[in-house]
Structure 1
Amino acid sequence: MADTQTATDHSQDQFLKEVLGLFALEGLELVGQIRAALDELGKHSDPRRHAKLYESMVRGLTTLGGSAATVGLLDIEKLPFALVALVQRMQDLGTAWSTDQVAVLRRSLDAIATAIQGLSQGGSGVIADLPRILEQTKEAAQAQPQTATTGKAQSGAKGDAGPAAATPTRPASVIDTLRNLQKNKVEGGATRHILDTVIERACAQSGGHAIRVEPRAIRSILRELDALDEWFLVEVQRRIPTLVGGFSEIMAGNYSEEEVERLLQEVCRLHEAAQNVQATAIMQFLQGLNTFVTIVTQKRMQVRTERLQAVAGRISMFARMVQHWVTLGQNERASIEHALQSAGLALN
């Protein structure tokens, strides 16, 4: 009996190692992509290319933070989301971002990579000196560009010019309004970061010129996200019976190779669908399920009944999980529409 328990515990440990190993592979690949985009940023002067590079960095950071959250790596979750604000600030500054901002971004990426690499050696994913790194990141994200003093301004300082004319206040742009909403949003609680996605897409579509973004462009993006969510929900509802039935056979021990293959194909198709809508948490669950089913069936491991029941319970709640995810997105999009309408920026 003790030997059986030891073997079971070993299989559980192996499963957790597999999940963390998959995260580490994905995480290091994402860090590499972000570094490559940052390196390329200084080699191009085309604003449209800059917009794509910034979009790539923000997407990589949000994916990395979301993936870390699903496996409980809190430090690796916090820092990427903090870096999003820094990258967006650099984009706002155009070519006026500083070498200090780039240095902070590089050091932070190095810290994330070190924590991820440590997972393979039994590390806990803790980032050394995280509070200081977060503070440096916050300061860099709030840095103001240095502007040269013009000759006319210097003359005015000497009294050669007349009274300074009042600078007209520019009405808040669409992106200004969304940025303010982003800064003032309440920390904590579940979020899909829809606001980040909308800002990224809008800036990319405008060739990196945030001031040119029109309300109708935001409306188009929101409607597109609505349609994607609806498609994803229908896809899940269509495939969930096969998922539940296939895992029930595994629990009963009455499964063939063909049945396992069919189940894994359904998991793979759902993972692809989740990837299309950037449902990171759902992707991670499906990836973990794929690993679990593969280990249990191919290696014929004995798994505790409670463990199988726990996984089966999560599968049975999968449709509700997706429905909650879709509802969360609907609420976030409604908040965006409300903020723009309150600022006098009608989406019609």
Structure 2
Amino acid sequence: MAADTTDDSQKELVDLFVEEAHEWLENIHVALDELQQGPAPERHAKLIGTISSGVINLGGSAATINLLDVKHASFATIPFIEALRDPQKALAVQDFLSLCKQLGQIHTALTRATGISFEDDGSCAAAEAVHAVLSPGEFLQALLELQEQQSSGIASGRDLIRSLIEQMEGQVQAGVQRIDASVIHEYLARVSEAEESFLKAIDERVPEIAEKMSALKMDGDEASSSLTALEASLQDVARLRTEAQQVNAGSALMFFTGLHSLLTVVAERRVLLAARRIESIKARLQLVGGAIRQWVEQGRAQRAAIDQLLPASHS
């Protein structure tokens, strides 16, 4: 009879512990979700406190009812929490993943000890999705294979793949084992934004420059108007030259550098260009505009191909 009473008492304690464990784990995972968003230092400290308290309470409570595996798994989590404590430190993706893995050990120990399923609520799976990692060596090999398939694009001067290959070679040589895939996604997004902005500038300014070029063949009676058009053209060409340099559009950079030099000489010497020369420049402007549109389109295709090599980003 005494044994039955003891068993009933232990069962009641375990049932109470299970309720508390669910609550502590829910608080831990909610705090972990928010922590991954990079909160302000004060909030960061509170979230770490919530996670730490939850784990300590879980381990301590498990110890009182002799659930030793749960106790050990809980207290073994503390070093992983400490790795995330400093809000001023650049937190490594692996630190979050390591903590998630250890929390998974707690879930497993709880399920085995109580016979009740303690499943991850998805926050750690989300962490792995948001912070998907890849091996620089494996990614480098995939890029090399892609480069073989994309040789026609590279021959035309569009070489985003080569740029990434060089970056990955540097990572491999530095001994880097893992890279956050979101870093690559963000890099590709920045390249895309810059190139689309450059194309927009080309579409807007090239027709304006071509129109202003016509003013350079006006006669002396309209010299003032010609000079104004020339100054405006110089400014537009200088901006396009700068933007071409920023996106590494080599051919466009060479063209706009040459055109800027020519217009600078014309402005300094106050001379007029022959009509044939003006028309030739205008024709070249149209060709350059078309070439840049093709260049940007090739970039879109290469980014799409590279993106297929990466884990999905949910950040």
With the shorter chain as reference, the TM-score category is: 0.3 to 0.5
Structure scoring higher RCO (CA < 8 A, sep ≥ 6) equals 1
Task: Report which of the two has the higher share of helix.
Answer: 2
- Higher-Rg structure is 2
